[in-house]
Structure 1
Amino acid sequence: MPSRGSLVVECVRVMKLRIEGGEWGKLLPGERRLAEALQVGRDTIRLALLQLEREGVLQEADAGARRRIIGVRPAAVKAKALRIGMLAHRRLEQLPQPVLLEVDDIRRALADKGGSLEVFSPSWYEQRSPAKRLAVLLEEEPCSAWILLRSSAAVQQWFMERRVPCLIRGYPHPGVELPHLDVDWQATARHAAGQLWRMGHRRVVVLSPSEPLKGVEAAVRGVMELGEPGFHATVQVENGTSAGIGKVLTRALQMKEAPSAIIATRPRQAATALTWLASQGIRVPQHLSLVTLAWEPFLDHLVPEITGYRADTDAVAKLVVRRLERLAAGDPNPGGNVWITPELVPGASVARVK
């Protein structure tokens, strides 16, 4: 995929790599398909195509016809460059900011090696029986290996049964034995709970989304297994809306023994909790401490700065690419630690209990 710098220049470079690798045969895909594949606008694609025509790589196309590839001599065709496909539950622009940063870092790392990344977000990705459509997609879009982002049990099972080289970017479902890489949410949450306990907090509320996420389930286990004397945690499930978070916080604060701290499992929960508490005259951290297990860049702009955990997206991208290279080379077990340990970033949203 095009990395930073001039998009037109990068598109020309990436398209040449794909042409030299024989990916598109004799006919280039249409402008719309190229724009989707390279995640750029059609105006950028048109400028790149004009440049390739000037360089004699492409034949000038008639209206409505696909451009013919003419500038690659058979002797110049090299072994196929590493082409990675990513299956995601949402379109690229709808993914969380940390995921976008990681995707960008993976693109750059692959581009440095002459490879590319293509993101697919089919509408059927989360359906109960995606097998037939997966087979068609992989036939139409041959890739060296795949990244499965937020993947269902059915998707993971399909890749495992067919032994398609892939890396789960997240947690594997029960019974699935595939290479995976994710934050150790259980250990991270246990660390957060331990930090709060050492600062005198004994009653803690954990905010959990209603959607079943393996990482959140692991985080809840991590808090619950702390086992320190007097420590008690309550899980409050919110419905994904600001009003829903306000409702569960109201319920928690009305408990006989009200909490002194909140653990947010998602960044949006932390932001909403901070502003909702302020609207109720409850100050963070003077009246209630707040910590988030996951981070997004927008949290840096909140006051007070929220204490939380961050993973280095560049370092994670390098881990991903190293595993993908081994998978594409035929190694079904790329090895290495499957858990990412995020760094605690002390903010100003946690205080000792007086």
Structure 2
Amino acid sequence: MTGAPMPSRGNLVAECVRVMHLRIASGEWPKLLPGERRLAETLQVGRDTIRLALQQLERDGVLAAADAGARRRVIDAGGETVREKTAALRIGLLAHRRLEQLPQPMLLEIDQVREALSSKGGSLEVFAPGWYEQKNPAKRLEDFVEEQRCSAWMLLRSTAAVQGWFMKGRIPALIRGYPHPGIGLPHLDVDWQATAHHAAGHLWRMGHRRVVVLSPADALMGVEAAVRGVMELGEPGFEATVLVENGSPGGVGRVLARALNFKSPPTAIIATRPRQAATALTWLASQGLQVPRHLSLITLGWEPSLDHLVPEITGYRVDPEAVAKLVVRRLERIAAGDPNPGGNAWITPETVKGASVGKV
């Protein structure tokens, strides 16, 4: 995915004009702009928006008048205004997946971060390099960071190798997630351990003694913390079994079928991912089992689609807009040279009471 500036939502035409100014001034489009279709794909907006932005750039004297069938020609990079904006805060987001493949809550958060930076004349640039999760990415990181010249970096779902490289090189960075052992970079994430502990305690108070924790196959630091939180409940008679699913609806169904065949089947399910909660609810219904009549269900993660399920899922959610504000404040301080931006590194989610947890 390209790492150039992208438009935020709101007034998309004005944002596209601003971003095109930035890209022209940076030398990405020194003489000719890409065609309309290509621009629409690159900036992730509709072609009507692109046409209006091009008309505005023509009125501003940045582009020459359109010639039938020809690409737009650059005649002026925009003067001092553009050069000042290109020197503003430029944040690079390194992610393990392309933007369109990220979970919906993270997309909402990224959109809010991008909008906040844009309002200050800055930009958020998203990168998803194929080598990001390699065991030894040091050389590629060195060349990449040198080439991109961002004010600070936001590391999403980053490996120990990536985090260690940024820490060793003292590159300004914020881990949006859990730090690996021995990593001293500033970070921000949900306190999954405390959240899972709270969920297990709630189930205990409702009379549940045998629960299943659904875990994705990926060894994520946050999931490991959540499992610890459940296992550390320490109440007498409480038993938790971790079942690893392969990320597919069928995989969730298979581990649930196995759990229901235990000698002492569980009475409750803890989902560490919102997709697991949605699949569990519908799979149980397909087996003639009702939530919470036959099994209770609670989720540690949330996404807007869960708001439309019946019964309403009990769980925990965070406000992407509130988290984005925390992210931007920390990135501003990190970019200004402060390696310890302060503030609580842990996000406390809001409890969704729901109706999917009942008494045994």
Give the TM-score normalised by structure 1. 0.91
Cα deviations by residue, 1:237-287 (Å, 9 ceiling, x for unpaired): 111122221111111111121111000001111111111111111110001
1:56 maps to what in 2?
61
Distance 1:208 1:71, change over 3 A: closer
Q: Is the 8 A contact 1:28 1:69 kept in 2?
A: no
Q: SS of the residue aligned with 2:301?
A: coil
Q: Is the 8 A contact 2:65 2:72 kept in 1?
A: no
1:187 maps to what in 2?
194
2:117 maps to what in 1?
110
Deviation at 1:51, TM superposition (A): 2.0
**Mean alpha-carbon deviation: is it higher for 145-154 or for 25-34?**
25-34
Do residues 31 (structure 1) and 38 (structure 2) align? no
Q: SS of the residue aligned with 1:105?
A: helix
1:342 maps to what in 2?
349
Do residues 276 (structure 1) and 283 (structure 2) align? yes
1:318 maps to what in 2?
325
Sequence identity (%): 72
Distance 1:60 1:72, change over 3 A: farther
Give the TM-score normalised by structure 2. 0.89
Deviation at 1:19, TM superposition (A): 6.8
Q: Is the 8 A contact 2:26 2:86 kept in 1?
A: no
Q: SS of the residue aligned with 2:228?
A: helix
Distance 1:60 1:164, change over 3 A: farther
Do residues 288 (structure 1) and 291 (structure 2) align? no
**Which consecutive segments of 4 or more residues in structure 1 shift more than 6 A?**
none
Aligned equivalent of 2:108, options 91, 98, 101: 101
Aligned equivalent of 2:10, options 1, 5, 9: 5
Distance 2:347 2:31 in 1: 40
Do residues 140 (structure 1) and 147 (structure 2) align? yes
Q: SS of the residue aligned with 1:31?
A: coil
Q: Is the 8 A contact 2:300 2:315 kept in 1?
A: yes
Q: SS of the residue aligned with 2:264?
A: coil
Distance 1:260 1:76, change over 3 A: closer
1:174 maps to what in 2?
181
Q: Is the 8 A contact 2:96 2:129 kept in 1?
A: yes
Q: Is the 8 A contact 1:26 1:68 kept in 2?
A: no
Structure 1 gaps of 5+ residues are: none
Q: SS of the residue aligned with 2:283?
A: helix
Deviation at 1:103, TM superposition (A): 0.7
Aligned-partner residue type, residue 264 of structure 2 = E
Deviation at 1:29, TM superposition (A): 8.2
Distance 1:28 1:44, change over 3 A: farther
Instruction: Let me know the Cα RMSD of the aligned residues.
Output: 2.5
Aligned-partner residue type, residue 7 of structure 1 = L
Distance 2:279 2:125 in 1: 33
